[in-house]
Amino acid sequence: MRNMQKYVHQDKEHMQKFMHDIKWENLLIDKDGNIVITDFGLSREFGSPERALTANTYTVNYRPPEIILGSTQYGPKSDMWALGVVFIEILMKLQYLFFSINGNSTEVLQKIYALRGTPSPDIWEGYDKLPWKIEFTECNAKNLSKLSILQGYSQDLIDVLDALLQLDPNKRPNASELLDWKYFKECPNESIQLNNFAKQYYQEEMLKYRLQ
């Protein structure tokens, strides 16, 4: 987990008004635990309030809900959502959290709501003004600490994940704020063995898709 702390320290791209296409496939870790970001094909500059940004950014499994719903004004808080997804996927040994075999953003959004609950203007200021609202059956947010994939992890870590995966981007911490959280101040020097889970998971999902 200390590798993730090192990544959060690398906030200079945000200060340069540049966002990434964050996913674990784009993160390379050297023998010293330093993280290098690769593949900037879907990355974006941001910062000008007059400039409308495209929704064609981030790989769909990591695309934040505000972008799926058509927001054209977004920034580094969207990166923090993708970081939260990557964080959980590492704990899941590189299985996908919000997976769509055919890159369907509506399917991804449905899976987001199944975990985080359906939004409303009360919990997400400006939600009712987003252009691409998609109606789903109302559901409540799940308690992350009760999820089987997060059993055995500290409440401090659960708090970090909960903050990163807030539906309202304005409620997510930025990278600098995140480093002040208790989890990162007392970050365990632990490692997780990452076997070939992702490839196996993708192959299984692809087989299900072909059999439909």
Digit-by-digit pLDDT tens for the chain (212 residues) are 545 555 454 544 444 454 556 666 666 666 665 656 655 544 455 554 555 555 556 688 889 999 999 887 777 888 899 989 988 988 887 788 988 888 899 999 999 999 999 999 999 999 999 988 788 889 999 999 888 888 888 899 999 999 999 999 999 998 888 888 888 777 655 555 545 545 555 555 555 555 55
> Tell me, what's the pLDDT at 36?
61
What CATH number is given for 2-211 in this structure? Answer: 1.10.510.10
177: its two tokens:
């704020």
> Tell me, what's the pLDDT at 171?
96
Query: CA-CA distance, 70 to 134, in Å (whole number)?
Result: 11
User: From the CB of residue 150, how many other CB atoms can be counted at a distance below 10 Å?
Assistant: 17
> Tell me, what's the pLDDT at 14?
47
> Tell me, what's the pLDDT at 212?
53
> Tell me, what's the pLDDT at 12?
43
- In sequence order, the β-bridge partners of residue 37 are 27
Q: Which of 78, 68, 65, 87 is nearest to 141 (CA)?
A: 65
12: its two tokens:
């200079």
Catalytic pick from 11, 21, 122, 168? 21
Query: CA-CA distance, 114 to 117, in Å (whole number)?
Result: 6
4: its two tokens:
């993730």
Known catalytic residue at 168 = no
**Residues with Cβ within 8 Å of residue 76, at least 6 apart in sequence:** 14, 19, 46, 174, 175
146: its two tokens:
């009760």
> Tell me, what's the pLDDT at 187?
65
Cα-based distances in Å from 47 to 14, 53, 69, 199:
10, 10, 20, 36
